[in-house]
Amino acid sequence: MEALGAIDAASIKATLGLQGHKLQLRAITIEPGGQIAKHSHEKRPGLVNVIYGEWIEGRASGEAGFKAGDNDAILEDEDTTHWFFNRGDTPATALVCDIVPDT
């Protein structure tokens, strides 16, 4: 995972009233055969866009594939619980933008 930038907690508080949180942009790579474990976004909204390869998203309702260049965003709202796989043979990278606690 590579942090690409972050809006600090003071700016988030001033603009949105979300004291103690920051907005961050990260590049996350899943290696071939790798996965990101099941997790919830109940208190962590975000957007994901695959820029290299393909991520397979799993949810209770099933799976969906997101490929680089498709311009489809993966929405992570308060109702989202999901996980990801890379079933390809090359690394797959996505840009992830989310609001997180400032720790």
pLDDT digits (tens, 9 = 90+) for 44-85: 889 999 999 999 999 999 999 999 998 888 989 889 999 999
Domain count, the chain: 1
| Bridge partners for 85 per DSSP | 35, 56
Whole-angstrom Cα distance, residue 66 to residue 30? 13
Q: Is position 5 within any domain?
A: no
> Does residue 82 sit within a domain?
yes
Q: In what order do the strands lie in the sheet with 35-40?
A: 35-40, 81-85, 54-59, 62-67
Q: What's the CATH number where 58 sits?
A: 2.60.120.10
pLDDT digits (tens, 9 = 90+) for 1-51: 666 666 677 777 777 777 888 889 999 999 999 999 999 998 888 999 999
The parent domain of residue 68 ranges over 29-101
Check: pTM over 0.75? Answer yes or no.
yes
Residue 15, in any domain of the structure: no
**In a domain? residue 24:** no
